[in-house]
Amino acid sequence: MLELRGVEKRYGGALAAGPLELAIGAGEVVALIGPSGGGKSTVLKLLLGLLAPEAGTVLLAGAPLRDDPAVRRRFGYVVQGGGLFPHLTAAANAALVARHLGWDRARVRARLEALAALARLPAGALERFPSELSGGQAQRVSLMRALFLDPEVLLLDEPLGALDPITRAELQDDLRAAFRALGRTVVLVTHDLAEAAYLAPRLVVLRDGRIVQDGTLEDLVRAPAEPYVSRFVHAHRALPVPPEGS
Ligand X SMILES: Nc1ncnc2c1ncn2[C@@H]1O[C@H](COP(=O)(O)OP(=O)(O)OP(=O)(O)O)[C@@H](O)[C@H]1O
Q: Strand 55-60 to strand 2-11: parallel, antiparallel, or no bridges (unpaired)? A: antiparallel
Q: What is the nearest approach in angstroms of ligand X to the Cβ of residue 39?
A: 4
Q: What is the nearest approach in angstroms of ligand X to the Cβ of residue 30?
A: 15
Shorter beta-carbon distance to ligand X: residue 50 or 149: 50
Could you tell me the maximum CA-CA distance found in the chain, to the nearest angstrom?
67
Q: How far apart are CA 117 and CA 219, in angstroms?
A: 36
Shorter beta-carbon distance to ligand X: residue 38 or 76: 38
Q: How many CB atoms lie within 10 A of CB 115?
A: 23
Return the CA Rg of the chain. 19
Residue numbers 39-78 binding ligand X by CB under 6 A: 39-42
The full DSSP string for 145-193 is HHHTT--SEEEEESTTTT--HHHHHHHHHHHHHHHHHH--EEEEE-S-H
**27: amino acid identity, one letter:** G
- Three-state secondary structure readout of 63-90: EECCCCHHHHCCEEEECCCCCCCCCCCH
What is the size of the binding site for ligand X (CB under 6 A)? 11
Shorter beta-carbon distance to ligand X: residue 38 or 159: 38
Per DSSP, the chain holds a count of helices (H) and strands (E) of 10, 10
Q: What is the nearest approach in angstroms of ligand X to the Cβ of residue 17?
A: 6
Q: What is the nearest approach in angstroms of ligand X to the Cβ of residue 168?
A: 16
Per-residue binding string, ligand X, 120-149, x by CB under 6 A, is ------------------------------
Shorter beta-carbon distance to ligand X: residue 38 or 53: 38
Residue numbers 168-227 binding ligand X by CB under 6 A: 191
Residue numbers 9-38 binding ligand X by CB under 6 A: 11, 16, 34, 36-38
Q: How far apart are CA 164 and CA 75, in angstroms?
A: 28
Q: What is the nearest approach in angstroms of ligand X to the Cβ of residue 158?
A: 7
- Is there binding between residue 151 and ligand X (CB under 6 A)? no
Q: What is the nearest approach in angstroms of ligand X to the Cβ of residue 246?
A: 38
Q: Which residues bind ligand X (CB under 6 A)?
A: 11, 16, 34, 36-42, 191
